[in-house]
Amino acid sequence: MPRSAIASERAVIRAETRRRWSLALPALTVITLCSILPLVVMVGYSFMEKGQYGNVEWGFSLEGWRAVILEKDFFDDSYIPATAHLTILGRSVALALLTTALTFVFGIPTAWFIATRSPSTRAFWMFLITVPFWTNLLVRTIAIQEVIRADGTLNRLLLATGIIDEPLQMMFTNGAVLVGMTYVYLPLMVLPVYAAIEKFDFRLAEAAYDLHASRFYCLRKVVLPLMWPGIAAGSILVFIPALGAYVTPRLMGGGRAMMWGNLIDLQFGQGRNWPLGAALSIALTLVVLGAMVWYIRRVAKGGESIG
């Protein structure tokens, strides 16, 4: 090919590339403004000095990050590991895992039920599942409070039927937090799993029965492996927001058992330690990122070994 032809071809490719980038511009703008920029601000804040009345002051400091890991001893000002943070992180992870597990247990049958209805009634059931999404999180949480508080619906029902003699203390316990979290995040599990089940070709289940598989064997070897992408997506969608959950633990747990989200809130509020708050936020993001990489790798491998 003559040199000029190569040059003109390159020019065409360049023009084409430019055109594609300009098409992607709106999306890139949104991503930059809403995702990358706040993240950059938070990373920046975490390396600044704290202001006396909150906010940050210009100047590089590792104090924020130091405080994530180490705290000053109350008596002799020496640094000791911030075990309280570790406990809170552990509690948050445990809560997020339990929430994911519970939404899984309740979400799979729910999704299965909806996906196996007739197409016309499916829309109705999906509508019921998505209704809570239109409602403010606070309102939803207070609604579930109303059900389980000392003189709430559930206690009154149990008292009236004579199953219990005095109201059960359900509010402000770890159980209450878990109930609230499961309730709030259930749709995030149901939706992707529903999509996976809806796509499932039930003729495959028929083929499995025909090939001497019991119902359980068919579920384990055919149905679950093919629903795996939906289950993985649902688990990630529940686990990530659950890890940073703030409103629900606070309202349902009464602030007694602090979660990572509450810890961050504290630093930006009463604690007036914005660099520490920012560092805690970024730390959580890193934990989530690590967990996701591990999970996706495991699922990808798992999918193959199952297959």
Partner 1 sequence: MLDIRSLSKKFGAGNSAFHALKSIDITIEEGEFFTLLGPSGCGKTTLLRMIAGFEQPSGGQLVLDGKDIAMIPPNNRPVNTVFQSYALFPHMTVAQNVAFGLEARGATPSEVAGRVDEMLEIVQMSHLRDRKSSQMSGGQQQRVALARALAPRPRILLLDEPLSALDLKLRKQMQVELKRLQREMGLTFIFVTHDQDEALTMSDRIAVMEGGTLQQVSDPRALYDHPANRFVAEFIGDANFLAGVIADAKLGMAGQPPVPLPRNEAANGPVTVMIRPEQVVVGPLAKDAITLNGRIETLVFSGNDTQASVRLQNGETLRLRAQNNLHAETTLTEGQRLQVSLPLDALRLLPQEAADAA
Footprint on this chain of partner 1 (rule: CB under 8 A): 201, 203-204, 206-214, 217, 221-222, 225-226, 303, 306-307
Quick check: helix, strand or coil at residue 80? strand
- In the block, residue with structure tokens 């599942």: 129
Residues 262 and 281: their CA atoms lie apart, in Å, by: 11
| Least distance in angstroms from the C-beta of 225 to partner 1 | 5
- Choice between 222 and 236, CB closer to partner 1: 222
| Least distance in angstroms from the C-beta of 301 to partner 1 | 14
| Least distance in angstroms from the C-beta of 227 to partner 1 | 10
- Choice between 147 and 213, CB closer to partner 1: 213
- Choice between 118 and 161, CB closer to partner 1: 118
- Choice between 79 and 209, CB closer to partner 1: 209
- Choice between 137 and 195, CB closer to partner 1: 195
| Least distance in angstroms from the C-beta of 180 to partner 1 | 36
Residues 53 and 245: their CA atoms lie apart, in Å, by: 26
| Least distance in angstroms from the C-beta of 218 to partner 1 | 8
Residues 281 and 172: their CA atoms lie apart, in Å, by: 25
- The amino acid at 14: R
Quick check: helix, strand or coil at residue 151? coil
120-138: burial string, b at 16+ Cβ within 10 Å, e else: eebeebbeebeebeeeeee
| Least distance in angstroms from the C-beta of 307 to partner 1 | 4
Contact in structure between 208 and 216 (CB atoms under 8 Å): no
- Choice between 218 and 283, CB closer to partner 1: 218
Contact in structure between 103 and 188 (CB atoms under 8 Å): yes
- The amino acid at 290: G
- Choice between 78 and 305, CB closer to partner 1: 305
| Least distance in angstroms from the C-beta of 238 to partner 1 | 24
Give the closest residue to 268 by CA, choosing from 50, 93, 33.
50
Token pair listed for 94: 């445990």
Could you tell me the end-to-end alpha-carbon distance of the chain, in angstroms, rounded to an integer? 48
